């Protein structure tokens, strides 16, 4: 059950590599009773130590309510001194964590073509969203990865076109920006979901507005900010 602060306590039961730059952490336990996920791509705050501050946002990649068990996919990044990165180096089955959430206002609008832009931190959300799209839906997913073998294409009943951009040493989000510029004008039946480095996210938000995305149809969030710990994007559509 959640404690008085709305936290749920859980225990790591497995950690495995799902790509060379992504590790899947499975968390389970009776402390997750009452935790529930109402839409794909929702996220939690993950607390890996006893501090009430210092949680990091992570997406619920999968939630198995019958087993009170959830997966989060954690992308590795070059800054190895982050709180989660350091924790992951020593985490193992039995490690205790707390979660707060989940939340997110994003919902796919039926009948809308979905344009998904993100780096590897948003790939768990994009994968969960794509997996839940119904047959007949249309989506375009543009993902920035650090290395060519980090491709992880989620299955879907929908008609999904994937584009994978290997960013190498380029500024984070630069490829996503270029791809977004190719979008052209939005029609009333386009919808966008974006998660990436905060400076790029801000520019993409402006591009989508200029392209004519109606209010409520573009969901854009800075998932992290270069040089900033525990970044929270004040302009986000979390
Ligand atoms: C709604 C939401 C959902 C998210 N879901 C996921 C998810 O499912 N999986 C996931 O891996 N991440 C996800 N993120 C991003 C994650 O919260 C951040 O990357 C977070 O900063 C990681 O914490 P940390 O302890 O590693 O680094 P921090 O302690 O926050 O930062 C330490 C340093 O690392 C840098 N840094 C942080 N992230 C990156 C990065 N990706 N690339 C390069 N440098 C970075 C910072 O700029 C800082 O200099 C999500 C973010 C949001 C807002």
- Residue having the nearest C-alpha atom to atom 52 of ligand 1: 223
Residue with tokens 């982050």: 82
132 in Cβ contact with 153 (< 8 Å):
no
Q: Cis peptide before 106, with omega less than 30 degrees from 0?
A: no
User: Does residue 79 have its Cβ closer than 6 Å to ligand 1?
Assistant: yes
What is the whole-number distance in angstroms between the Cα of residue 18 and the centre of ligand 1? Answer: 18
Q: Is the pLDDT of residue 169 over 90?
A: no
CA angle 101, 151, 211 (to 5 degrees): 70
CA distances from 191 to 17, 102, 115, 162 (A): 32, 22, 6, 16
| pLDDT grade for 6, boundaries at 50, 70 and 90 | confident
As a whole number of angstroms, the distance between CA 162 and CA 165 comes to: 10
Q: Is the pLDDT of residue 4 over 50?
A: no
Tokens of 132: 């839940």
As a whole number of angstroms, the distance between CA 61 and CA 29 comes to: 17
149 in Cβ contact with 121 (< 8 Å):
no
Atom of ligand 1 lying closest to residue 226 CA: 47
201 in Cβ contact with 176 (< 8 Å):
no
pLDDT for 37 = 92
| pLDDT grade for 141, boundaries at 50, 70 and 90 | very high
Atom of ligand 1 lying closest to residue 225 CA: 47
Domain edges within the chain: 7-103, 113-224
What average pLDDT does the segment 103-110 reach? 93
Q: Give the CATH H-level superfamily of domain 7-103.
A: Translation factors (2.40.30.10)
Which one is predicted more confidently, 128 or 187? Answer: 128
Paired residues of 119 in beta bridges: 144
- Residue having the nearest C-alpha atom to atom 5 of ligand 1: 58
User: Does residue 25 have its Cβ closer than 6 Å to ligand 1?
Assistant: no
What is the whole-number distance in angstroms between the Cα of residue 52 and the centre of ligand 1? Answer: 18
What average pLDDT does the segment 101-127 reach? 96
113-224 is classed in which CATH architecture?
3-Layer(aba) Sandwich (3.40)
Among candidate residues 72, 37, 77, the one with its CA nearest the CA of residue 196: 77
| pLDDT grade for 5, boundaries at 50, 70 and 90 | low
């Amino acid at each position: 059950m959640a404690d008085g602060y709305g936290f749920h306590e859980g225990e790591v039961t497995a950690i495995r590599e799902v790509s060379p730059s992504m590790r899947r952490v499975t968390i389970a336990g009776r402390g997750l009773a009452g935790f529930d996920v109402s839409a794909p791509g929702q996220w939690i705050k993950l607390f890996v130590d006893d501090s009430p501050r210092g949680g990091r946002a992570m997406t619920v990649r999968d939630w198995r309510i019958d087993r009170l068990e959830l997966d989060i996919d954690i992308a590795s990044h070059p800054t190895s001194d982050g709180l989660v990165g350091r924790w992951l180096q020593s985490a193992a089955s039995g490690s205790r964590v707390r979660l707060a959430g989940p939340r997110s206002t994003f919902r796919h609008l039926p009948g809308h073509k979905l344009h998904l832009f993100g780096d590897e931190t948003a790939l768990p959300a994009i994968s969960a969203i794509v997996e839940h799209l119904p047959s007949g839906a249309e989506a375009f997913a543009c993902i920035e990865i650090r290395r060519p073998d980090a491709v992880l294409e989620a299955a879907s009943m929908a008609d999904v076109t994937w584009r994978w951009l290997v960013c190498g040493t380029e500024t984070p989000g630069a490829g996503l920006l270029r791809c977004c510029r190719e979008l052209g004008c939005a029609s009333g039946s386009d919808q966008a979901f974006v998660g990436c480095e905060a400076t790029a996210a801000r520019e993409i938000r402006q591009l989508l507005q200029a392209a004519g995305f109606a209010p409520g149809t573009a969901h854009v969030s800075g998932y992290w900010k270069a040089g900033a710990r525990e970044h929270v994007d004040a302009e986000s559509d979390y």
